[in-house]
């Protein structure tokens, strides 16, 4: 089965609508080529306004936005504005995610404890056991803000590592970027999944639909990745991604199969079941182990990265499950238009057999 893939990052997205004074100031400065005033004090560090403003500023280091000069990436006024927002976000996380008395080995071991029975109430369990097609399409929509640039935020840490940690990190990232084959880049496989589910594959297309809970999970990677001082935290975040990916991906592949999704949709998660089972060992022993062998003073930050990731993912899970179990949509923009016909792959095989 072959899907003709349209490159998601062939163009930059449009600036989103503001969700408050912070995101309005950022969008206005980018749209008009001006400098934003200092951000006002206060506001929810996990709220819609701050998280959108931070997301937009971080995106200047990735794909940018249509009509925004690429040089704004390093605009001093924007960087100062971003720094103020980062400090609010980072400070809130340090307060809400205590790590005193927790070692990296314990934190990593805790990630491998899979809930069973009535305790198995996570998003991937819900989608596998009772999720409908519309839930899976919404999930794919929201996760696209990361997966269409999968592994890019973690690549920032490579020049900040050395020895065994650098070698291990580069090895895993090499696989994430297709191991030398453009058609196997994981971000591209995710675009195939979206195409199979009849979703737009344009990079950043669904930003307006994403709530603060989702934006915060993506912003966390950029916060850690863009600061050398947080290299330990990014390593911890990366460990969470790789250690928890395989079982979660298996459940999501099963969920897609249950609702009749096509091979392209399932392949993204099936690929992660196998690849991340191997990556888990490399990350645990070489990346984290190598980093702490050379820089033992970073252990607290590694644990912080692990726990902060779990904290924000739990907030997102609570948001999604509350919306879905209440019979509503998890998208800020409301439900996606219903499918009118079953998607088909390029060979004419029906992808979704039941709509």
Pick the CATH number of 103-325 from 1.20.1050.10, 1.10.3210.10, 3.40.50.1820, 1.20.910.10: 1.20.910.10
pTM of the model: 0.93
* Res 209: pLDDT: 98
Q: What is the pLDDT along the chain (355 residues), one digit of tens a residue?
A: 455 667 788 889 999 999 999 999 999 999 999 999 999 888 899 999 999 999 999 999 999 999 999 999 999 999 999 999 999 999 999 999 999 899 999 999 998 776 655 556 799 999 999 999 999 999 999 999 999 999 999 999 999 999 999 999 999 999 999 999 999 999 999 999 999 999 999 999 999 999 999 999 999 999 999 999 999 999 999 999 998 888 999 999 999 999 999 999 999 999 888 776 778 889 999 999 999 999 999 999 999 999 999 999 999 999 999 999 999 999 999 999 988 655 444 333 444 433 3
Whole-angstrom distance, CA of residue 45 vs CA of residue 47:
6
Calculate Rg over the CA atoms of the chain: 20
Percent of the chain as helix, strand, coil, to the nearest 5: 65, 0, 35
Q: For 66-127, give the DSSP string.
A: TTS-GGGGG-HHHHHHHHHHHHHHHHHHHHHS--TT--HHHHHHHHT----GGG--SHHHHH
Distance CA 110, CA 52 (A): 31
Position of tokens 């992808």?
351
* Structural domain boundaries in the chain: 21-94, 103-325
pLDDT for 341 equals 57
Nearest CA-CA partner of 111 in 243, 17, 210? 243
Measured distance CA(198)–CA(187) in Å, rounded: 17
């Amino acid at each position: 089965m072959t899907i003709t893939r349209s490159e998601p990052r062939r163009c930059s997205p449009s600036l989103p609508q503001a969700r408050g004074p912070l995101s309005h100031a950022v969008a206005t400065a980018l749209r008009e080529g001006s400098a934003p005033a200092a951000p006002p004090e206060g506001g929810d560090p996990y709220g819609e306004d701050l998280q959108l403003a931070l997301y937009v500023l971080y995106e200047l280091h990735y794909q940018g936005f249509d009509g925004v000069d690429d040089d704004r990436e390093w605009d001093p006024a924007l960087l100062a504005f971003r720094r103020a927002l980062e400090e609010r976000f980072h400070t809130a996380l340090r307060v809400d995610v205590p790590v005193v008395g927790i070692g990296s080995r314990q934190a990593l071991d805790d990630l491998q404890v899979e809930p069973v029975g009535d305790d198995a109430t996570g998003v991937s369990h819900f989608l596998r056991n009772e999720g409908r097609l519309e839930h899976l399409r919404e999930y794919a929509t929201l996760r696209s803000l990361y997966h269409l640039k999968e592994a890019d935020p973690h690549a920032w840490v490579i020049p900040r590592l050395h020895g065994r940690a650098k070698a291990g990190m580069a090895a895993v990232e090499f696989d994430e970027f297709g191991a030398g084959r453009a058609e196997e880049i994981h971000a591209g496989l995710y675009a195939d999944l979206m195409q199979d589910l009849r979703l737009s594959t344009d990079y950043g297309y669904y930003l307006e639909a994403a709530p603060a809970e989702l934006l915060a999970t993506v912003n966390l990677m950029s916060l850690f990745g863009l600061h050398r001082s947080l290299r330990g935290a990014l390593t911890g975040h990366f460990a969470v991604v790789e250690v928890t990916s395989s079982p979660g991906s298996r459940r999501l592949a099963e969920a897609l199969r249950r609702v009749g999704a096509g091979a392209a949709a399932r392949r993204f998660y099936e690929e992660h079941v196998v690849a991340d089972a191997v990556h888990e060992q490399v990350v645990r022993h070489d990346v984290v182990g190598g980093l702490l062998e050379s820089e033992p003073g970073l252990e607290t930050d590694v644990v912080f990265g692990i726990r902060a990731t779990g904290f924000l993912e739990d907030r997102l899970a609570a948001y999604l499950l509350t919306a879905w179990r209440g019979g509503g949509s998890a998208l800020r923009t409301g439900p996606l238009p219903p499918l009118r016909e079953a998607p088909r792959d390029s060979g004419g095989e029906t992808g979704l057999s039941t709509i």
